[in-house]
A and B are shown apart, each in its own frame.
Chain A
Amino acid sequence: MKTPLLAIAGLKKSFDLKSVLRGIDLVVESGERVALVGANGAGKTTLLRILACLTEPSSGSARIDGWDIVRDAQQVRRLVGFVAHQPYLYDELTALENLLFFGKMYAVKDARERTEDLLRRVGLEKRARERAGVLSRGQVQRLSLARALLHAPRLLLLDEPDTGLDEEGLRLIEDVLAEHSAQGGAVLFTTHQLDRAMKLGDSLLMLSRGRLVFQEKTAGLELERMRQEYQEVFR
Chain B
Amino acid sequence: MALARQDTNVKRRDASGPGQAERFPIVSMVLLALTFIGMMISIWMIFLYAPTDAIEGDAQRIFYFHLPSAIIGMLSLGIVALGGIVYLWKKDERWDWVARAAAELGTVFLTFALITGSIWGRTTWGTWWTWDARLTTTLILWFIYIGYLMLRSYMGRTPASARAGAVLAIIGLIDVPIIYESVNWWRTLHPQAVLPLGSSPQLPLEMLLTLVVAFITFTLLFSFLMVQLYQLEKMQTLAQQLRASVE
A–B contact, 8 Å CB criterion (strictly below): yes
B163 to chain A, nearest CB (A): 11
Whether the pair B247, A18 counts as a contact (CB closer than 8 A) is yes
Whether the pair B244, A17 counts as a contact (CB closer than 8 A) is yes
* Count, chain A residues at interface, CB 8 A: 8
Interface 9-mer from B8-16, B75-83, B145-153, B224-232: B8-16
Whether the pair B9, A16 counts as a contact (CB closer than 8 A) is yes
A20 to chain B, nearest CB (A): 10
Whether the pair B9, A19 counts as a contact (CB closer than 8 A) is no
Whether the pair A17, B11 counts as a contact (CB closer than 8 A) is no
Which chain B residue lies CB-closest to A70?
B91
Q: Say yes or no: is A183 at the interface (Cβ < 8 Å to chain B).
A: no
Whether the pair A19, B245 counts as a contact (CB closer than 8 A) is yes
Residues in A neighbouring B158, C-beta threshold 8 A: 16
Q: From residue 7 to 46 of chain A, which have CB atoms closer than 8 A to chain B?
A: 14-19
Residues in A neighbouring B243, C-beta threshold 8 A: 17
A170 to chain B, nearest CB (A): 36
Q: Say yes or no: is B7 at the interface (Cβ < 8 Å to chain A).
A: yes
As a 0/1 sequence over residues 206 to 247 of chain B, the CB contacts with chain A under 8 angstroms (1 = contact) are: 000000000000000000000000000000000010011101
B236 to chain A, nearest CB (A): 13
Residues in B neighbouring A16, C-beta threshold 8 A: 7-9, 158, 244
Given known A-B contacts A19-B244, A19-B245, A19-B247, A14 and B10 have beta carbons under 8 A apart:
yes
Interface residues on B, range: 10 to 19
Whether the pair B9, A15 counts as a contact (CB closer than 8 A) is yes
As a 0/1 sequence over residues 127 to 145 of chain B, the CB contacts with chain A under 8 angstroms (1 = contact) are: 0000000000000000000
Whether the pair A58, B11 counts as a contact (CB closer than 8 A) is yes
Whether the pair B10, A17 counts as a contact (CB closer than 8 A) is no
Inter-chain CA distance A16–B244, complex, in Å, is: 8
Q: Say yes or no: is A3 at the interface (Cβ < 8 Å to chain B).
A: no
Which chain B residue lies CB-closest to A209?
B247
Inter-chain CA distance A16–B10, complex, in Å, is: 8
A50 to chain B, nearest CB (A): 13
Whether the pair A58, B9 counts as a contact (CB closer than 8 A) is yes
Inter-chain CA distance A15–B241, complex, in Å, is: 11
Q: Say yes or no: is A163 at the interface (Cβ < 8 Å to chain B).
A: no
As a 0/1 sequence over residues 175 to 216 of chain B, the CB contacts with chain A under 8 angstroms (1 = contact) are: 000000000000000000000000000000000000000000
Q: From residue 49 to 80 of chain B, which have CB atoms closer than 8 A to chain A?
A: none
Inter-chain CA distance A226–B10, complex, in Å, is: 36
Residues in A neighbouring B244, C-beta threshold 8 A: 14, 16-19
Residues in A neighbouring B7, C-beta threshold 8 A: 16-17
Q: Say yes or no: is A74 at the interface (Cβ < 8 Å to chain B).
A: no
Inter-chain CA distance A18–B153, complex, in Å, is: 20
As a 0/1 sequence over residues 90 to 126 of chain A, the CB contacts with chain B under 8 angstroms (1 = contact) are: 0000000000000000000000000000000000000
Residues in B neighbouring A14, C-beta threshold 8 A: 9-12, 244
Residues in B neighbouring A18, C-beta threshold 8 A: 244, 247
Q: Say yes or no: is A59 at the interface (Cβ < 8 Å to chain B).
A: yes
A218 to chain B, nearest CB (A): 31
Residues in B neighbouring A58, C-beta threshold 8 A: 9-11
Q: From residue 158 to 196 of chain A, which have CB atoms closer than 8 A to chain B?
A: none
B residues in contact (CB < 8 Å) with A: 6-12, 158, 240, 243-245, 247
Offer 26 A-B interface pairs, CB within 8 angstroms, sorted by A.
A14-B9, A14-B10, A14-B11, A14-B12, A14-B244, A15-B9, A16-B7, A16-B8, A16-B9, A16-B158, A16-B244, A17-B6, A17-B7, A17-B8, A17-B243, A17-B244, A18-B244, A18-B247, A19-B12, A19-B244, A19-B245, A19-B247, A58-B9, A58-B10, A58-B11, A59-B11
Contacts beyond the supplied A14-B10, A14-B244, A16-B244: 20 A-B pairs with Cβ under 8 Å: A14-B9, A14-B11, A14-B12, A15-B9, A16-B8, A17-B6, A17-B7, A17-B8, A17-B240, A17-B243, A17-B244, A18-B244, A18-B247, A19-B244, A19-B245, A19-B247, A58-B9, A58-B10, A58-B11, A59-B11
